[in-house]
Amino acid sequence: DAGITQSPRHKVTETGTPVTLRCHQTENHRYMYWYRQDPGHGLRLIHYSYGVKDTDKGEVSDGYSVSRSKTEDFLLTLESATSSQTSVYFCAIRTGGTDTQYFGPGTRLTVL
């Protein structure tokens, strides 16, 4: 599974609180992604990174920010969580040689 871990795996929080999700990889892949998965919407890209401190927005970036200070870590922050951000969040990496994405185990976030 390309050495990807996500933490926490489950989180329940309240509206208005900040939340940070962590994606950690062990294989020095350059590209990392954050997706959210919701019923009826499939996978939607939130943000992605193409190197340390190099990030860009995806299709559903409003309300989210990211940071990548080290190759192995890609953080997703919800500055002030809302109920609409209740979702399952997946991190992914892209292997350089085969242009293939591999996904982490996911984080189930519930915002009450």
Partner 1 sequence: AQSVSQHNHHVILSEAASLELGCNYSYGGTVNLFWYVQYPGQHLQLLLKYFSGDPLVKGIKGFEAEFIKSKFSFNLRKPSVQWSDTAEYFCAALSGGSYIPTFGRGTSLIVHP
Task: Report the interface residues with partner 1, using CB under 8 A.
Answer: 1, 31, 33, 40-43, 45, 48, 50, 58, 90, 94, 98-106
Residue with tokens 């959210």: 36
**Entry field: residues in the chain:** 112
- Rounded to a whole number of angstroms, the minimum distance from the CB of residue 44 to partner 1 is 9
Burial of residue 97 (CB within 10 Å: 0-12, 13-18, 19+) is exposed
**H helix intervals, the chain:** none
How far is the C-alpha of 106 from the C-alpha of 23, rounded, in Å? 9
Burial of residue 83 (CB within 10 Å: 0-12, 13-18, 19+) is exposed
- Rounded to a whole number of angstroms, the minimum distance from the CB of residue 37 to partner 1 is 8
Question: Which CB sits closer to partner 1, 9 or 18?
Answer: 9
- Rounded to a whole number of angstroms, the minimum distance from the CB of residue 16 to partner 1 is 29
- Rounded to a whole number of angstroms, the minimum distance from the CB of residue 31 to partner 1 is 6
Cβ–Cβ contacts within 10 Å for residue 90, how many? Answer: 21
Question: Which CB sits closer to partner 1, 65 or 88?
Answer: 88
Question: Which CB sits closer to partner 1, 68 or 82?
Answer: 68
Question: Which CB sits closer to partner 1, 14 or 27?
Answer: 27
